[in-house]
């Protein structure tokens, strides 16, 4: 019954995460949209950074949590950890996709192009592909235990691969397009730091909150399935007896 205890503990702190996320995001939005001055070079467009960068940070954080949770699962085979991994993967995929989308919207006015094979954009695309592969893999396995195990293996391999992918793409970029358009140009001045920090903390809290809700959802879903299945088999058994 440790699973139930974990669930109950999660539920107790869930509200704090949600409330904290709402507060931080509210403050961050106010600071980012109204309270901070426009950037000297980029003008007002720099405000997109306050939503884009936290989304990207959070998706990376999510992938780290996914890899750690997968290791934990392979070690202890704790089903609730697997539920958490599944929730984190889906949410990481959403955050990564949104980070890519906002990045494209940022790229249009600053570089006058929706898409460029920039090192970070490319490695984030590969990250998104790996996460979608993870979700697909899990839907294609029939057995719950095997599904969790295979997912964990893929997540760990991908986590080890991620830095190598980033390095190789970065080298490849510098080879083909020396220092044309790069995000390095954005130096973070103190005026930009406060809203960025607020939004980053808020996004991380929101991510944790959403992970909790989704973990709970997956757990309840499986519980309902299992219990319904048991009731059904009991029903059939009683019928065959009589």
Question: CA angle, 195 as apex, 192 and 197 as ends, to 5°?
Answer: 100
Q: Shortest Cβ distance from residue 57 to other proteins (Å)?
A: 13
Instruction: Let me know if 110 is exposed, middle or buried by CB neighbors in 10 A (0-12, 13-18, 19+).
Output: middle
Q: Shortest Cβ distance from residue 33 to other proteins (Å)?
A: 5
Q: In the range 105-124, which residues lie near other proteins by CB under 8 A?
A: 105-106, 108-109
Question: Which range binds other proteins by CB under 8 A, 61-69, 113-121, 171-179, 188-196?
Answer: 171-179
Q: In the range 50-109, which residues lie near other proteins by CB under 8 A?
A: 51-52, 55, 74, 94, 98, 101-102, 105-106, 108-109
| # residues near other proteins by CB under 8 A | 66
140 binds other proteins (CB under 8 A): yes
Q: Shortest Cβ distance from residue 183 to other proteins (Å)?
A: 15
Among 78, 116, 144, 150, which residue sits at the site for other proteins (rule: CB under 8 A)?
Answer: 150
Among 185, 221, 232, 235, which residue sits at the site for other proteins (rule: CB under 8 A)?
Answer: 221
- Of 115 and 172, nearer to other proteins (C-beta) is 172
The answer to whether the beta carbons of residues 57 and 200 sit under 8 Å apart is yes
33 binds other proteins (CB under 8 A): yes
30 binds other proteins (CB under 8 A): yes
Q: Shortest Cβ distance from residue 177 to other proteins (Å)?
A: 14
Which of these, 76, 65, 71, 81, lies nearest to 153 by C-alpha position? 71
236 binds other proteins (CB under 8 A): no
Interface residues with other proteins (CB under 8 A) are: 22, 26, 29-30, 33-34, 38, 43-45, 47-48, 51-52, 55, 74, 94, 98, 101-102, 105-106, 108-109, 126, 129-130, 133, 136-137, 140-142, 146, 149-150, 152-154, 156-158, 160-161, 164-165, 167-169, 171-172, 175, 206, 209-210, 213-214, 216-217, 220-221, 223-224, 227-228, 231
């Amino acid at each position: 019954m440790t699973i139930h205890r974990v669930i109950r503990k999660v539920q107790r702190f869930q509200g704090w995460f949600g409330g904290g996320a709402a507060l931080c995001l509210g403050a961050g939005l106010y600071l980012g949209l109204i309270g901070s001055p426009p950037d000297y070079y980029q003008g007002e467009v720099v405000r997109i950074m306050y939503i884009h960068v936290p989304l990207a940070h959070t998706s990376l954080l999510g992938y780290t949590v996914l890899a750690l949770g997968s290791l934990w699962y392979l070690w202890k085979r704790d089903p609730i950890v697997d539920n958490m991994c599944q929730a984190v993967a889906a949410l990481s995929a959403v955050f990564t996709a949104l980070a890519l989308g906002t990045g494209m919207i940022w790229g249009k006015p600053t570089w006058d192009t929706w898409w460029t094979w920039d090192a970070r954009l490319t490695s984030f695309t590969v990250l998104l592909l790996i996460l979608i592969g993870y979700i697909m893999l899990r839907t294609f396995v029939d057995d719950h235990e095997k599904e969790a195990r295979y997912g964990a293996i893929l997540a760990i391999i991908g986590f080890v691969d991620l830095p190598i992918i980033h390095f190789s793409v970065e080298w490849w970029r510098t080879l083909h397009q020396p220092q044309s358009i790069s995000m390095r140009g954005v130096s973070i001045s103190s005026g930009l730091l406060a809203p960025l920090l607020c939004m980053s903390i808020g996004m991380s809290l929101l991510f944790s909150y959403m992970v909790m809700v989704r973990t709970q959802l997956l757990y309840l879903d499986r519980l309902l399935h299992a219990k319904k299945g048991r009731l059904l088999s009991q029903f059939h058994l009683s019928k065959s007896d009589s």
